[in-house]
Chain A
């Protein structure tokens, strides 16, 4: 927790916040950081008149300061049933990661919003600010279950249109959606979010051969319930790895083209390593 306290969420973009925060804003405000001068106009706060210039030039100029705004931090957690699996459990991992990121946001006085998207529903917890909201955030996450069907597109559209203010959007999902991820990401990519797509994959999804996938299997899709008969031969396993690599590469290409940061996270990865190393290197945390 102490190490998380030292972390902060950063954004490659400077967004307009709703209240004063700890982020520089394009808007001029009341911070201590000087930005510019402008001519005084009627009604301006006389506290910001540069009286020294008035003495020398006999003209009223107003000092403008950069206003520090809060950061809107949106964490979207995939609650589809495909997240309900893996060892370590993908949804648990997503909730822990969301908790950690949210905590960092709260500690740094960012405006944290949580979204959970699943089948035909988008659940949310918005307007969290300050460390004291940590418990509330944790309880909300604990109450979530992964039992939906897809819903990624609807979730992203809801976030994009939800008026959460522009900021950082962290999507925690395996991105294994039967109807694809493209439409959903397009929603948020066009709305000025600094989007981080963290693709959570369980170890057996990354390397099934080494995690008990062998022999003649009837694989059941936890989300759709559809069955697929697979004989886990060397050729099939090899083909699976190729398919996975192709899928990840496709998601990465799609993300890069839309300035979305994509990062594959294997759920066996230690959380500390993820937060203190991976995400710092990827520019999400500082």
Chain B
């Protein structure tokens, strides 16, 4: 490990050195009290010193222990005035990026003075900043500082600046989140500010490699995908305690009984990151009213170390609560009866929609397969239309699409596709951004967006399409499956229009014979019915964006966030509202005033849960393991740089005592 020293006040030290060292040497010669001694003859002594006389001053300096001690003491004082900061791990950079973790695990209350880890990280970062700029009037050039807060994504709170007040204000302003932890965004942002491209030579990149000061508990998900580039250095300030253990709720789900829609079943998964088994009671609260408690404490086994993968696997227990009667919608929350040091994952909620069935229209051929699937779903109504009949009704009532939750177009394209939610097969939609240009044959999926809600439980590996419409998707079209011949599936949401477009006729593929087709069909119906977002009652994760489609004419839209604060939302298009990211857990309620003459709900709830399986590990890491290197953490409140001036002053005093003692012995 290399030792680096930063000087906070080198100019002051230089001034003191220049003003004291020469006088000290002069004073040494003046002050030196030689012992007078009469001897028989100095003749031989003169001869002895004759040879040394050519460089007599240096000889005196070299062999005078007293002067050496005085110079040493003075040098120590000068060094102390320079305020050296001893740093373990690297040399001082001219640019320092403060990376402050504000993820969910940083809310664990295991810091000194009953503070959260984030509070401790902010305090340490402020101290570090002040130490870097704390040289006073004569301080040397302080490094430029950037402040980045990161969790699920990274945010620059203060670009590179020499203004310490600005940087400290940015640090003070960091708000906690319950998000997961990723660091790669932070690196990209920092590097964007430290990498300069020479416009004359586009290939030449000038890099002023920064030094990173990471304030985190070290539980960062994407460390293994991150690397420190050449010249970059990192100091890891380890926040929190490695002994802090945590248990939380990893998942929650609610399902209505298909036979008795008034009843809901609540499922929950309890995650234990502790070395010891966890035992605790769980409560179910519906709309802030306690509805159920586990009849006996839930036992969760201890976490295990996976020696093969070198990861820690939490202990998990699935909890199924007895059925609850919930004739209307509501917020169902599962929580521990007692909190631990990380509160955010001790609860999880889900918004249960009221029992309602979908109204579906099937336009076009009415293929047997599609009709069968729709008939198998619990729908409020299923209306079949030919294309001509649909066009005719549309001409009479342009708002006809609003009468259905989803309209399935089976190789049919209406004349008017300006509003509504459609699941479209084969016939290309007539709208901007979708440009058909022919037909392609023998296509197979090449690129699949695995995580998209439409593709949940949908395996497309064996899909073969004999013929498909070749389209060019542009603009706001979101392609989720693509073949070598072009897009196969895409979504588009524009104003009052939302559709899922499958560019081929399922009947010209082997898809109807696969289970994935049924799942895709159901997912699409549910996704479209929920407004193009996730399934309605699916809880959000911290960092997600809440989306809603409000009725036309909705006014006074506001969001009630956890904690009771209501924030107004300026709405341009009520049919497509986004709010977020929702950084903390809890229940968010979107409220609005419905236009006159319209009935229906005027509120929409969102549950944001912290997934304990992803962010619940609360024991602080002793080191951060990047893809190529490991960096040990500086524990507790210790600083990466230690002020050395008190020790230097102490050493100077000791040297002065020694010099005094030697002088007494000689005189």
Q: Do A and B bind each other?
A: yes
For the complex of A and B, list the 5 residue pairs with the smallest distance between their C-beta atoms, beginning with the closest. Answer: A233-B63, A240-B48, A215-B666, A176-B41, A218-B34
B598 at the interface (CB under 8 A from A): no
Which of B36, B38, B42, B49 sits near A236, CB closer than 8 Å? Answer: B49
Chain B residue, CB-CB nearest to A215? B666
A261 at the interface (CB under 8 A from B): no
Given A178-B43, A215-B666, A231-B63, decide whether A239 and B37 contact each other with a Cβ distance below 8 A. Answer: no
What chain B residues lie within 8 Å of A239 (beta carbons)?
48-49, 51-52
What chain A residues lie within 8 Å of B64 (beta carbons)?
216, 231
B227 at the interface (CB under 8 A from A): no
What chain A residues lie within 8 Å of B37 (beta carbons)?
213, 217-220
What chain B residues lie within 8 Å of A178 (beta carbons)?
41, 43
Question: What count of chain B residues pass the 8 Å CB interface test?
Answer: 26
Of the A-B pairs whose beta carbons lie under 8 Å apart in the complex, a sample of 10, sorted by A's number, is A176-B40, A176-B44, A178-B43, A216-B34, A220-B37, A224-B42, A228-B45, A229-B34, A246-B47, A247-B44
A202 at the interface (CB under 8 A from B): yes
Beta-carbon contact of B39 and A222 below 8 Å? yes
Rounded to whole angstroms, the CA-CA distance of A271 and B514 in the bound complex is 128
Given A217-B34, A234-B63, A235-B52, decide whether A228 and B44 contact each other with a Cβ distance below 8 A. Answer: no
Beta-carbon contact of B48 and A216 below 8 Å? no
What chain B residues lie within 8 Å of A174 (beta carbons)?
40-41
A130 at the interface (CB under 8 A from B): no
Which of A215, A237, A243 sits near B47, CB closer than 8 Å? Answer: A243
Which of B32, B34, B36, B39 sits near A204, CB closer than 8 Å? Answer: B39
Beta-carbon contact of B49 and A216 below 8 Å? no
Beta-carbon contact of B35 and A216 below 8 Å? yes
Rounded to whole angstroms, the CA-CA distance of A10 and B32 in the bound complex is 55
**Which of A49-57, A80-88, A98-106 forms contacts with chain B?**
A80-88
- The smallest beta-carbon distance between A232 and chain B, in angstroms, is 9
Beta-carbon contact of A222 and B49 below 8 Å? no
Rounded to whole angstroms, the CA-CA distance of A209 and B60 in the bound complex is 18
What chain A residues lie within 8 Å of B51 (beta carbons)?
239
Q: A216-B35, A243-B47 are in contact. List 19 more A-B contacts (CB 8 A).
A: A82-B41, A85-B39, A176-B40, A215-B666, A216-B34, A216-B66, A217-B34, A217-B37, A218-B35, A219-B39, A221-B42, A221-B43, A224-B42, A231-B64, A236-B52, A237-B48, A243-B48, A246-B47, A247-B44
Chain B residue, CB-CB nearest to A204? B39
A242 at the interface (CB under 8 A from B): yes
Rounded to whole angstroms, the CA-CA distance of A236 and B63 in the bound complex is 10
Rounded to whole angstroms, the CA-CA distance of A284 and B153 in the bound complex is 107
Rounded to whole angstroms, the CA-CA distance of A29 and B46 in the bound complex is 56
Rounded to whole angstroms, the CA-CA distance of A86 and B40 in the bound complex is 7
Beta-carbon contact of B35 and A217 below 8 Å? yes
- The smallest beta-carbon distance between A23 and chain B, in angstroms, is 36
What chain B residues lie within 8 Å of A234 (beta carbons)?
63
Beta-carbon contact of A240 and B45 below 8 Å? yes
Rounded to whole angstroms, the CA-CA distance of A76 and B33 in the bound complex is 40
- Give residues 401-451 of B contacting A (CB, 8 Å): none
What chain B residues lie within 8 Å of A207 (beta carbons)?
none
Which of A86, A214, A228, A246 sits near B49, CB closer than 8 Å? Answer: A228
B59 at the interface (CB under 8 A from A): yes
- The smallest beta-carbon distance between A238 and chain B, in angstroms, is 8
Rounded to whole angstroms, the CA-CA distance of A277 and B36 in the bound complex is 38
Beta-carbon contact of B42 and A226 below 8 Å? yes
A223 at the interface (CB under 8 A from B): yes
Beta-carbon contact of B38 and A222 below 8 Å? yes
A276 at the interface (CB under 8 A from B): no
Rounded to whole angstroms, the CA-CA distance of A217 and B666 in the bound complex is 9
Beta-carbon contact of A220 and B39 below 8 Å? yes
What chain B residues lie within 8 Å of A222 (beta carbons)?
38-41
Beta-carbon contact of A215 and B35 below 8 Å? yes
Rounded to whole angstroms, the CA-CA distance of A230 and B59 in the bound complex is 11
Chain B residue, CB-CB nearest to A230? B45
Chain A residues packing against B (C-beta within 8 Å)? 82-86, 90, 174, 176, 178, 202, 204-205, 213-224, 226-231, 233-237, 239-240, 242-244, 246-247
Rounded to whole angstroms, the CA-CA distance of A239 and B53 in the bound complex is 12
Residue with the highest number of chain A CB atoms closer than 10 Å, among B32, B34, B59, B63: B34
Chain B residue, CB-CB nearest to A81? B40
Rounded to whole angstroms, the CA-CA distance of A160 and B312 in the bound complex is 110
Beta-carbon contact of A243 and B44 below 8 Å? yes
Beta-carbon contact of A228 and B40 below 8 Å? no
What chain A residues lie within 8 Å of B36 (beta carbons)?
217-218, 220
Residue with the highest number of chain A CB atoms closer than 10 Å, among B36, B41, B49, B60: B41
What chain A residues lie within 8 Å of B41 (beta carbons)?
82, 174, 176, 178, 221-223
Rounded to whole angstroms, the CA-CA distance of A247 and B47 in the bound complex is 10
What chain B residues lie within 8 Å of A235 (beta carbons)?
52, 59, 63
Rounded to whole angstroms, the CA-CA distance of A227 and B43 in the bound complex is 11
Beta-carbon contact of B49 and A202 below 8 Å? no
What chain B residues lie within 8 Å of A85 (beta carbons)?
38-40
What chain A residues lie within 8 Å of B34 (beta carbons)?
215-218, 229
Q: B57-88 interface mask toward A, CB cutoff 8 Å, 1 = contact, 0 = none? A: 00110011010000000000000000000000
- The smallest beta-carbon distance between A5 and chain B, in angstroms, is 33
- The smallest beta-carbon distance between A138 and chain B, in angstroms, is 25
Chain B residue, CB-CB nearest to A200? B40
Residue with the highest number of chain B CB atoms closer than 10 Å, among A176, A213, A226, A230: A230
Chain A residue, CB-CB nearest to B60? A231
Rounded to whole angstroms, the CA-CA distance of A21 and B368 in the bound complex is 166
Rounded to whole angstroms, the CA-CA distance of A204 and B43 in the bound complex is 14
Given A218-B35, A220-B36, decide whether A176 and B43 contact each other with a Cβ distance below 8 A. Answer: yes
What chain A residues lie within 8 Å of B52 (beta carbons)?
235-236, 239
Beta-carbon contact of B48 and A242 below 8 Å? yes
- The smallest beta-carbon distance between A259 and chain B, in angstroms, is 26
Given A216-B34, A236-B52, decide whether A82 and B45 contact each other with a Cβ distance below 8 A. Answer: no
Rounded to whole angstroms, the CA-CA distance of A235 and B48 in the bound complex is 9
Beta-carbon contact of B38 and A220 below 8 Å? yes
What chain A residues lie within 8 Å of B47 (beta carbons)?
243, 246-247
Which of A228, A231, A237 sits near B46, CB closer than 8 Å? Answer: A228
- The smallest beta-carbon distance between A207 and chain B, in angstroms, is 12
Chain A residue, CB-CB nearest to B665? A215
Given A231-B60, A233-B63, A243-B47, decide whether A90 and B40 contact each other with a Cβ distance below 8 A. Answer: yes
What chain A residues lie within 8 Å of B42 (beta carbons)?
219-221, 224, 226-228
What chain B residues lie within 8 Å of A223 (beta carbons)?
40-41
What chain A residues lie within 8 Å of B666 (beta carbons)?
214-216
Q: B17-36 interface mask toward A, CB cutoff 8 Å, 1 = contact, 0 = none? A: 00000000000000011111
What chain B residues lie within 8 Å of A227 (beta carbons)?
42
Rounded to whole angstroms, the CA-CA distance of A217 and B42 in the bound complex is 12
Chain A residue, CB-CB nearest to B51? A239
What chain B residues lie within 8 Å of A242 (beta carbons)?
48
Rounded to whole angstroms, the CA-CA distance of A243 and B50 in the bound complex is 10
What chain B residues lie within 8 Å of A224 (beta carbons)?
42
What chain B residues lie within 8 Å of A176 (beta carbons)?
40-41, 43-44
Chain B residue, CB-CB nearest to A86? B40
Q: B324-356 interface mask toward A, CB cutoff 8 Å, 1 = contact, 0 = none? A: 000000000000000000000000000000000
Rounded to whole angstroms, the CA-CA distance of A227 and B46 in the bound complex is 10
